Amino acid sequence: MHTWFETGVRVLAMSLFSAASLVIVLASGVQFFCGIATSWDGKVQFHTPMLFAIGFLLLFLLGGITGVMVATLPWDWQATDSYFVVAHFHYVLNGAVVFPIFAAIYYWYPKMTGRMLSERLGHLSFWVMFIGFNVAFFPMHILGLLGMPRRIYTYPSGLGWEWLNLVSSIGGFIFAIGVGITFVNLWVSRKHPRDAGPNPWHADTLEWATDSPTPEWNFAAVPIVESRHPLWDQQPMTFAENGAYGPEGALRRAIPITGGLHADPEDVLYVPAETALPFWVALGLALVFLAMLVQAQLVAIVGLAVAGVAVLRWAWRIGDRDVPASEETD
């Protein structure tokens, strides 16, 4: 919203944009206090995913503080189109996107592949990325306050920007090295695999109740959950044995349907077998939009016909399920 402050709109409109930007503080504050409360109530283990999660909080905090600054009209008029704004949104983007993605990679890679990543390389990757990022982007705050505009590729000497730009460039290479360490970690895990087991993190959520990597069917029988932390409180986990919720239902691609307030099953949805019909629907729609671009009406009609026939056939397959009466009543 703060990018509108320099467009010449009325002060009342700018005030509304400023308020909309400041409202984000409320949601971000709730998020931070939830994270603090969760960590306070638990026992934090500083594995690689947790390090990247903490790094996300710290970087996003700095990005949020500067976000409040640029949401204020007088301040943003001084900082707009300077490198201060570049620093701000990179702290937000890397804090809110890149570091959580790396946390997710390290956390769920064992589930996806059945192999563990090296904790030593993971820790090294985090610290190199964290230090490199701050070395690269924190000086940009100062560059912006010194008047360096964004979207330029060169500038004359003697403006006092040279050494800070050099530091930022070095930090960018350091950050790239940190990312490269994770790729090395992935390569090492592939060449020298270490079995992850079903639940290497001793987590409490259901994805860790299956084998690693997860089978195509996830669960052959529906797990019976009786706690907020089923893998901690229910040992061993119990699974449904009969009817559509047991192994027989999995063979028929049966999925239980539950209510919005309680998880008690109310009905059964039978998923169709594997088919290429969705591909033909997508292909037909692609022909329609491509034909609209080149004004080829006949091609659009053909694409619409292909998509329509595929949709009808797909719906026919879904409705033509031969479900035994015994499974309907279980």
pLDDT digits (tens, 9 = 90+) for 172-203: 999 999 999 999 999 999 999 888 888 899 88
User: Can you give the pLDDT at residue 73?
Assistant: 79
Q: What is the pLDDT of residues 235-262, one digit of tens each?
A: 888 888 777 778 877 777 788 788 777 7
**Residues 88-107: tens digit of each pLDDT:** 989 988 878 999 999 999 99
296 and 179 assigned to the same domain: no
Query: How many domains does the chain divide into?
Result: 3
241 shares a domain with 105: no
The predicted pLDDT at position 178 comes to: 96
The answer to whether position 258 is within a domain reads yes
Q: Residue 138: exposed, middle, or buried by beta-carbon count in 10 A (0-12, 13-18, 19+)?
A: middle
Q: Distance (Å, rounded) from C-alpha 171 to C-alpha 137? A: 8
Same domain, 99 and 80: yes
194: phi then psi, degrees, rounded to nearest 5:
-120, 125
C-alpha angle 165/89/93, rounded to 5°? 110
Same domain for 125 and 19: yes
Q: Express each pLDDT in 34-68 by its tens digit.
A: 888 888 887 888 999 999 999 998 998 898 888 88
Same domain, 162 and 241: no
234 and 281 co-located in one domain: no
d(CA 53, CA 275): 39
CATH code for position 137: 1.20.210.10
Residue 76 falls inside a structural domain: yes
* pLDDT at position 319 over 70: no
**Could you tell me which residues come within 8 angstroms of residue 302 by beta carbon, excluding any fewer than 6 positions away?**
287
Residues 69-77, mean pLDDT to the nearest whole number:
82
Tens digits of residue pLDDT in 211-235: 888 887 788 888 888 888 888 888 8
Q: Is the pLDDT of residue 330 over 80?
A: no
CA dihedral 15, 18, 20, 22 (to 10 degrees): -140
- For residue 236, give every residue at least 6 positions away whose Cβ sits within 8 Å of its Cβ, in sequence order, or none: none
CA distance 93 to 100: 10
Residue 112 lies in domain: 2-191
Q: In 3D, which of 168, 195, 326 has the Cα closest to residue 248? A: 326
Q: What is the mean pLDDT of the chain?
A: 86
238 assigned to some structural domain: yes
Last residue of a domain, one of 230, 252, 270: 270
From the list 279, 257, 272, 284, the residue with the least C-alpha distance to 317 is 272
* In-domain check, residue 200: no
Residue 133 lies in a domain: yes
Please tell me the predicted confidence (pLDDT) of residue 286.
93
State residue 214's pLDDT score: 85
**pLDDT grade, residue 320 (50/70/90)?**
low
**In a shared domain, residues 139 and 154:** yes
